[in-house]
Structure 1
Amino acid sequence: MTLTRMILRSLPVAGLAAATLAAGLGGTADAAPHKPGSSLGWKLTDTGVQSRFRGLAAVDRNTAWAAGSGGTVLRTVNGGRTWAKVAPADAAGLEFRDVEAFDADNAVVLAIGEGDASRVYRTSNGGRTWTTGFTNGDPNAFYDCMTFFDRKNGLAVSDPVDGKFRILSTADGGRSWKVLPNAGMPAALPGEAAFAASGQCLVSHGARDAWIATGGGASSRVFHSRDRGRTWTVTNAPLPSGAAAGVFGLAFRDARHGVAVGGDYRPGEASPKAAATTGDAGRSWRLAPRPPAEYRSGVTYVGPLLLAVGPTGSDVSRDNGRTWKRFDTGSFDTVSCAHGGCWASGEKGRIARMG
């Protein structure tokens, strides 16, 4: 079965939408170079900005949200033909690193940084107006990523405060947040942190399971919660770890099967162990026998397939992350797929759609 057919079978599209996706998967002239004969390719869109977009949320083939540097938030509702600037009015200079979108109107964005630079905003009218759901008041906290289990319940994670990762929780769609008790959080390693590189250092699946990806310490690790962030277990991951290395992105296709990607993000540094897989909800991890050749920061499932992206290219796996093949050499930081649409984003205003 071709990759085109596998993606078509795995995405919930039908009729004209399916035919359009099939026609577009062969690649386009304005996409980054990709290998001859590949059935996958990104089509770059014109965002009109130079921000770096590490936060990305696909809603469907037509609608996506992107959050980036310089206080920039963009939204498209026409497949990327045009992008509207929809950032909060007081966001100039903030570094947005994550966005979770429920539809064309409702989205939540996370800004990172020390002290009150870490903030969460919510909109219910497509970004015309925003409310501030959370402003960090602790100078020792630095929030990196967030995730939602459903339209109401979500979490955000901060780098360790007093030796433990700090978890925020919302039960009203991001309108308000509270810090959860840390009694159920294992101690962090010296230097351990989460990387705010793709909005995927904290992910969830189903109604209660969440995972945190870390690096920076003596070992890269993955934390797992089965109760929406109240208690956690932690396991070493076989990816390299160091000041610039660790697990950068996670994706789970169900409560047991997942993949971790990462490596060393410094340009020119080798990352021969850039991916690992789990079949037991993260209790154990195995290195991919044939991982992506270089550091990857973002990863997502597309039905039975996996896509991973990084500054040096995009890769696909059709065997649950064990072996990977590069299909594009353009620079991206994160990737998101939902309801017939796959999108990738990164530096210099780059946002692309597949097909």
Structure 2
Amino acid sequence: MEIERQDPLLSEDEWHRTRHPEAFSASYAPPRRRRRPRLIAAGVAGAAIVVCAALVASIVFSTPSLPGGSVSLLGAKLRWLLPVDADTHFAVVNTGTEDYALARTTDAGRRWVAQQLPDQVNRGLGEYEPVLLAAHSVQIGAYVTTDDGRSWTMGSPSALGPRMPPLKLGDPISTVPAGWPLQPYCTQSCEASAVDPRTGVQHLISTLTGVRPDTDPTNAIHDPSGTLWVKTDNRVYVSRDAGKSWAAREIAYDDTFSFAANGRYAYALTDLYQRGTSVLRTLDGGRSWQTVASDLQSPVGDTCVLANGDLLAVVRDQDTTALSISRDHGSTFRPAARGVHPGQLLRATDGTCVVQDRWQKAYWVVTGDGGLRPLTVPAS
């Protein structure tokens, strides 16, 4: 494994499983005159065995699917927004005292379709936040939907306890399949993993053994170009070959920094306290990095990168916040919008940036030129 600017990582473990099915054989040489009756009996018995085997298989191996059900959003309150792209979003909404639904829009919020969460899934929201896995897949605790909430399937629960990873780990992988999001797998410490969007099962990335990612899942990114990014306390790891090899870039250890990536662009903004902000950037997918002094003097919160490389940042000043944008890759920033008080920047699966306004309880989709387009959401 190729690692730059740090001590070598631990060796990759090889995990192999083999199966040795047993072979069964039987011989039968009946007298000629009694051949037909015995063949008929054998055929009936064989059919019975096949039917029984099918029944047993259906009982042992099938996972019951829990149906959702269409529900009105009248009076609903938004709890979580999960952006897929500029027009497609999921929303988890409260439809009653303890009832929740999963809503989806494909036209930037002009129309939402909601499915009531089954009771078992509903209870999972007490311990776990919803996680977007793919364009049609959402996970809540041990349950996953792959059809926009119309049905939910339970995976194999872990035995780690409340607020710990809800499902058993899958086998480690050395290559991350396309479309699998990255997530930290955290127990007493965190490890880097990729998630199968069909099942919600996490698989540790064996080529990152020993690397401790942030607990913040937004700092582990599988971006649309296929590049993988993982942030730790003082490094950024990047892979351009689906996780087979990684390069590491060290960041200042004593200072906090925020991280954002999209395609070939990535930025690490380091808060230098009274000395302003330093920006470490790569414009070629992590092959080379440059440090530039920024004119930002206020602490920086969330950041997000547009497809063209422009950088958005939530700038904090005493009790208020503002949205700033850099069009020269982090050297200078200017206000991105007046009258918007950003609380959080959300990153959609395709890299689109979404701004949450913490005062108006509104959401804005950032357009390609850095403008803001309102997103209509269920009442919040």
- The TM-score, its normalising length taken from structure 1, stands at 0.58
Aligned-pair CA distance for 1:211: 0.7
- 1:332 equivalent in alignment to 2:352: no
What corresponds to 1:314 in structure 2?
A: 323
Q: How does 1:46-195 map to 2 (within 5 A)?
A: 49=77, 51=79, 53=80, 56-60=82-86, 62-66=87-91, 74-81=103-110, 83=112, 86=115, 88-89=117-118, 90=121, 91-96=124-129, 98-102=131-135, 106-109=136-139, 121-124=144-147, 126-132=148-154, 135-138=157-160, 152-159=179-186, 165-170=191-196, 173-175=197-199, 177-180=201-204, 182=206, 184-188=208-212, 193-195=213-215
Is contact 1:47-1:82 (8 Å) kept?
Answer: no
Correspondent of 1:251 among 232, 254, 261: 261
Which amino acid is the alignment partner of residue 49 of structure 1? Answer: K
Q: How does 1:2-41 map to 2 (within 5 A)?
A: none
2:151 aligned counterpart, secondary structure: coil
- 1:279 equivalent in alignment to 2:283: yes
Distance in 2 (alpha carbons) for counterparts of 1:136 and 1:315: 42
Distance in 1 (alpha carbons) for counterparts of 2:254 and 2:322: 20
Deviations 1:263-293 (A, max 9, x none): 59xxxx8794374312353464525523473
Percent identity reads: 17
Is contact 1:276-1:322 (8 Å) kept?
Answer: no
Distance in 1 (alpha carbons) for counterparts of 2:75 and 2:332: 33
- 1:202 equivalent in alignment to 2:220: yes
Distance in 1 (alpha carbons) for counterparts of 2:352 and 2:299: 26
Is contact 2:227-2:263 (8 Å) kept?
Answer: no
Correspondent of 2:250 among 230, 233, 236: 236
- Bigger helix fraction: 2
1:153 aligned counterpart, secondary structure: coil
1:314 aligned counterpart, secondary structure: strand
1:96 aligned counterpart, secondary structure: coil
What corresponds to 2:43 in structure 1?
A: none
Relative contact order (alpha carbons < 8 A, sep ≥ 6): 1 or 2 greater? 1
Is contact 2:133-2:181 (8 Å) kept?
Answer: no
Is contact 1:334-1:345 (8 Å) kept?
Answer: yes
Is contact 1:344-1:351 (8 Å) kept?
Answer: yes
Q: Which runs of 5+ in 2 are unaligned?
A: 1-73, 166-175, 366-371, 374-380
What corresponds to 1:35 in structure 2?
A: none
Which amino acid is the alignment partner of residue 299 of structure 1? Answer: C
Aligned-pair CA distance for 1:228: 3.0
- 1:299 equivalent in alignment to 2:300: no
- 1:226 equivalent in alignment to 2:244: no
Q: Which runs of 5+ in 1 are unaligned?
A: 1-45, 112-116, 144-148
Aligned-pair CA distance for 1:180: 2.8
Question: Greater CA radius of gyration, 1 or 2?
Answer: 2
Is contact 1:100-1:108 (8 Å) kept?
Answer: yes
Which amino acid is the alignment partner of residue 99 of structure 1? Answer: L
Distance in 1 (alpha carbons) for counterparts of 2:91 and 2:283: 31
- The TM-score, its normalising length taken from structure 2, stands at 0.54
Aligned-pair CA distance for 1:201: 0.8
- Bigger strand fraction: 1
Correspondent of 1:289 among 284, 289, 294: 294
Count, aligned residues: 268
